[in-house]
Amino acid sequence: MLERVGLNDAAIVAIEAMGLTSIESFNDLTDDDIPAIIKEIRRRGTPIRQSSQNFLHALRYWVVRQERMQENYLSDDFTDNIMRHALRRWQIASESASNDLIKAPKEFKTSSKWRKFKESFLTFLQHTKGHCDFPLSYVLREEEVLAEDDERPFES
């Protein structure tokens, strides 16, 4: 699997020496750990391409998603297509909206300005991501309780 991300033998040995001996061990890493690991391996004289570092981010992103969704997975499941798809999803998840465009709403004080506050708050939540890269607005709903005849509690 580490060969698939473009790492050479020396880099693979170094990564395994750091305790990343199984695919599950990537779930314990943070996004900031990967650049630190790569920096340490490069400091020891082992060259690593930037694309390999990006694919390691994609691997970690994929493993974390599999764990959160409680899916069974093996290292063979991380194919080239899945790796490239996970890389695109990780890149999108890593991008954040410019603070100039979307700002957190000011504190709600006056009930006469409720509509304006509500719109700015919902816009802010749509651009703020929670677990598994879902926008936080996903958890909000207009009605407090679902209608009894509504059998679909979640929309797809």
d(CA 24, CA 28): 8
Q: Measuring CA to CA, which residue among 53, 4, 2 is closest to residue 23?
A: 2
Q: Of the candidates 97, 93, 79, 90, which has an alpha carbon nearest to the alpha carbon of residue 53?
A: 90
Q: How many helices (H) and strands (E) does the chain have?
A: 5, 0
Which single residue is written with the structure tokens 């009605």?
143
pTM of this prediction exceeds 0.75: no
Element (H, E) at 142: none
Per-residue confidence in pLDDT tens, the chain, 156 aa: 889 899 999 999 999 999 999 999 999 998 889 999 999 999 999 999 999 999 999 999 999 999 988 889 998 999 999 999 999 988 887 776 445 567 777 777 777 778 888 888 888 887 777 766 667 776 776 666 655 655 555 554
